[in-house]
A and B are shown apart, each in its own frame.
Chain A
């Protein structure tokens, strides 16, 4: 007599039969199993949507940073290494407010001595713009003619600040698209607007640029930086943008800037930031954010998994007699184990696929509301793998309980 079957026979798990049992068992308890799947559905939906929003934000921010230009070095005051304990309290870039020596016209002039670069100073403050009886809060940026090229600003009509720094003392303004349409009623050139009650002549209008991480770019007003300094009654500059011709020159120019500024400021109390550094920093921040959002959503998936385990334990108890019958006619432990495990995986996987589908629809809806979101291939794969793993983890124990039932005990079960 042959006790053991051949390896191939033994390995042959009848997938189609098992699937048929799984489907028939799931469809015989539709409401219960739908509610169980709902847990996984919501979990996967939440994870995929959260990660897709995170991914959308990352893509959007990267686009904007890349839009700043790859070959720009941002010079700001303050260096963490040089700060005193009290100054360290403030955020970076706020040096001017926190007692760190701000950048001034002297630094700007010094940088102009470096060959082969373009330099534009930036001073940003919010201000009140009024025209006839309309008033609005706007972002006022003092800069010079080079900024048009460095920031690739799109002109709708008129011209940008075109005069050299020495001559650019007239109160002229270039306005953003929203100010142009909403305050000036799309007729702006040569009109006089008041910024903090000082009259400015509109010499140019920018095309629509949208919202960036710095704020609404269409509510921005550009004026000559020396005029801005007169209004503030100091010579401070928030940022100096230095543009080089190619990325290869960035390191050498950074060294030159450091030498020049250190010479004039006496110490290295300034910072140089490049686009790649900004990408790196925002990448880290958004990555952490994604992990946190995904983690929170992951909790709901965990709860969904517990729901599966609960319902599978109920199912095993209800079908104890069935397990006994199957064992009496020759089912081995692993046959029973697989049957219940596949059922749990099936529940989790169908829940996962439905969750993915809803997340996809959710992402389309969010796009309609201008919320950036992007479902990546990896998030799909991760969602499916995760829901399968959830099915396995929370299905193993009930399946093991089923497989371990003694046939005689299971057959007697009422």
Chain B
């Protein structure tokens, strides 16, 4: 089953009279339960692609389909609902709210879904348990390590049970050992059925996925299947 699909997706940024094509004619499909890497050098359009499929931005042309519905033409309110229910974001710099405790950060997406507080706490509890951070739930982000913060961000992405996880350079701010731990966690989650889209410029990170979509100058240049991805243990 296709979880996410783009059809002839394009994005043009206009600065005064100058137009820059960031993405051109990108058509990709992500299937349920896949772990896919999106790879390319800086300026290849991978961040633009992530913003579009994450419903943070609108395309200049083409279509985006998530879980069987077309989403590129939705209004702000409905895009927010898609982000809330279908997409789980993991950012390079974690993007946790510093004033909220770990457990409150994980609960945040559920608040905007209108989930009652006791259910929120229960779900956030379960996800933190799964991620192995239950004992840190009452800490503030500043009181835990970078690797732990990224795991909290992952827990926040998982808590709504989204159609796919969108991880943008999730190891970019981490040392290689902690980075490997995060990749292992993503692989474990994928083994448990979670669809993962991993955006990276790092060949080594991309080789942990089963398929790598290569981007260059805003276009897909290769769709490479990796029969034997690296497995972190």
Could you tell me which A residues sit within 8 Å of B by CB distance? 1-5, 8-10, 12, 14, 16-17, 21, 24-25, 28, 321-322, 324-333, 335, 406-408, 411
Contacts and interface: CB of A to CB of B under 8 A. Distances in A.
B121 to A, nearest CB: 12
Contacts of B56: 327-328, 407-408, 411
Nearest to A327: B80
Contacts of A3: 69, 74, 78, 81-82
Interface string B73-99: 010111011111110010100011101
B109 A329 contact: yes
Given A5-B113, A12-B114, A411-B95, A332 B82 contact: no
A395 to B, nearest CB: 20
A330 B114 contact: no
Contacts of B111: 14, 17
A332 B95 contact: no
Contact of B99 (A5, A24, A326, A327): A24
B112 A1 contact: no
A327 B68 contact: no
B217 interface: no
Contacts of A335: 112
B57 interface: yes
B81 A330 contact: yes
A414 to B, nearest CB: 10
A3 to B, nearest CB: 5
Contact of B83 (A9, A12, A329): A329
Which of B69, B80, B86, B109 has its CB near the most chain A CB atoms (within 10 A)?
Answer: B80
B12 to A, nearest CB: 15
B78 A330 contact: no
A110 to B, nearest CB: 85
A17 B67 CA distance: 30
Contacts of B51: 408
B156 interface: yes
Nearest to B82: A3
Nearest to A322: B97
Contacts of B38: none
Contacts of A406: 57
A407 B95 CA distance: 13
B64 interface: no
Contacts of B67: 1
Given A2-B85, A329-B108, 4 more contacts: A3-B74, A9-B113, A330-B81, A330-B85
A3 B81 CA distance: 7
Contacts of A408: 51, 56-57
Contacts of B76: 332-333
Contact of B95 (A25, A28, A325): A325
Contacts of A14: 111, 114
Contacts of B89: 328-329
Contacts of A5: 81, 113-114
A330 B99 contact: no
Contact of A328 (B81, B83, B113): B83
A10 B99 CA distance: 26
B68 to A, nearest CB: 6
Nearest to A334: B77
Which of B84, B91, B112 has its CB near the most chain A CB atoms (within 10 A)?
Answer: B112
Given A3-B74, A407-B56, A329 B84 contact: yes
A329 B152 CA distance: 14
A2 B69 CA distance: 9
Given A14-B111, A335-B112, A407-B56, A325 B97 contact: yes
19 contacts: A1-B68, A3-B78, A9-B113, A12-B114, A14-B111, A325-B95, A327-B56, A328-B56, A328-B83, A330-B84, A330-B109, A330-B112, A330-B113, A332-B80, A333-B80, A335-B112, A406-B57, A411-B56, A411-B95
B92 to A, nearest CB: 11
Interface string B158-186: 00100000000000000000000000000
Q: Which 10 A-B pairs have the closest CB atoms?
A: A330-B84, A330-B112, A9-B114, A329-B109, A332-B80, A12-B114, A408-B56, A408-B57, A1-B67, A407-B56
A149 B76 CA distance: 81
A25 to B, nearest CB: 7
Contacts of A21: 99
A329 B74 contact: no
Contacts of B57: 406-408
Contacts of A321: 95
A195 to B, nearest CB: 79
Nearest to B74: A3
Given A1-B67, A9-B114, A12-B114, A332 B97 contact: no
